[in-house]
Structure 1
């Protein structure tokens, strides 16, 4: 079996490398999202990947500063990402999941018990985690990032927090996050605090009648300024701001 935790391209495009007799598992909604969005995403990537690769390649070739700096490390991260994305379009073939679970499914093998758990939206419209109860390990997908800003606009902040509360209720020693290094259970609370911090910041912006255009000037809080994928922070804050406005109207 292969498990797709959610529908984003970096979590599902490896499907095509597995033999046809390997079952690809996801939620029903994740399968629908892959089928709907992958053709559109690939078409958009073909437009922007060459430009973004050229941009980071030029930065790489012209860089003359400290190669241990954050600035250079960012270049080393994004340049090969866009190069690989660009080259992948020559051979990418979308393989859809063929097996679906929308609640809890148990797999009792001879040496290990596994639970696949879906509780609806969170990071996306539908997320799935893999839990090993005897080993006390969670494969969280992108519901948890370790020292990386998550991408939030495809999800639901309130449901995401519910997901994290649920994972906190499980016996867990180890988290395998969607991005970042393996960590301990405290990563769950780190992720929830990030969401709460965003909600408070967005609520304050709305409370003091700040326009959404000014969000780009809001600095990343000190506790998150060294996290990777920092460009997502403004996107996330805008998303939380729109959610805050909607709640206020209701």
Structure 2
């Protein structure tokens, strides 16, 4: 789909399927999708706040004739707020997510994010980093709505005569990542299993699951691949994400075996071919997750500390 530019807006990829793109694809600037057929419609993900979601829905109403009240189903590809905070803008929609994602949605509700951002100016360099990456979003204006249906493994729905397969591939990026596959139209919406031209961030792992999720996308042999962040891509784009995951696994393992700390390893790893990707400081989270995996440590990460380390790497 090289003909679709990476510019903000709604793009029909063919046969009643649309991608909604948000440059630059960095923190919070996520993509969404719309699947329509026979007067029915399914929305793949909402956006980071209600204002952005309402703007997207207005664009869909104008361009595709599908208004907020027309959307019968929302699929959340995972729990992060930049894919869920506008769920309630579609009042009549059934909301489907993996069971693991539904549980994870409670962990950082929008009011908690709003409280953190209200205090950011008092948090020194870490706070400034939070303002830099999240300051464009209004976490006091969200429309949260939890899933009304959950599943584990695989689940299929129909939109008109289209079959849409929901394939759980997490834990990887998060606890419950889901691919949305429209087989007859050879289209996959990947959620944050794919960041294109941006650095993937591995909150959950294990890395082997994420690499396997990329293999699953490749095996589906889609013509159109809409990532969670970044421009529409192809199989080569999937392989590049896999290459990054293999690379950081190898580099982190060497430093773990050598006894380096997470902080020292994150500073020490030279990203080489991947250094041009946005948000490269996410290596801090990736190393931390990999170190916990190597150690068999199942305790949750210290997110505050990790944002501090990302701020340090960014500087």
TM-score range, shorter chain: 0.7 to 0.9
When normalised by structure 1's length, the TM-score is 0.78
Aligned to 1:14: 86
Report the alpha carbon displacement of residue 54 of structure 1 after superposing the two structures with TM: 8.8
Give, in whole Å, the separation in 1 of the partners of 2:284 and 2:140: 32
Is 1:82 aligned with 2:134?
yes
- Cα 1:120–1:82 change in 2 (3 A) is closer
> Distance in 2 between the 1:181 and 1:49 partners?
33
In structure 1, runs of 5+ residues without a counterpart are 57-77
Distance of 2:119 and 2:248 partners within structure 1: 31
Deviation at 1:43, TM superposition (A): 3.6
CA contact (8 A) 1:103 1:117 kept: yes
Contact 1:102 1:119 in 2 (8 A): no
Q: Secondary structure at the match of 1:231?
A: helix
Question: Cα offset for 1:55?
Answer: 4.4
Q: What are the equivalent positions in structure 2 for 1:1-250 lying under 5 Å apart?
A: 1-19=73-91, 21-38=92-109, 40-48=112-120, 55=128, 79=132, 82-85=134-137, 88-246=138-296
Computed over aligned residues only, the root mean square deviation of the Cα atoms, in angstroms, reads 2.6
What's the secondary structure of 1:149's corresponding residue? Answer: coil
SS where residue 85 of structure 2 aligns? Answer: helix
Cα deviation, residue 4, structure 1: 0.5
- Aligned equivalents of 1:170, 1:128: Cα separation in 2: 14
Relative to its length, the structure with more helix (as a share) is 1
Number of residue equivalences: 222
SS at match of 1:116: strand
Unaligned runs of 5+ in 2: 1-72, 298-315
Contact 1:4/1:11 (8 A) holds in 2: yes
Residues 18-52 of structure 1 show CA distances to partners (whole Å, capped at 9, x for unaligned) of: 12x11111112211211233154444344337878
Q: Distance in 2 between matches of 1:139 and 1:14?
A: 18
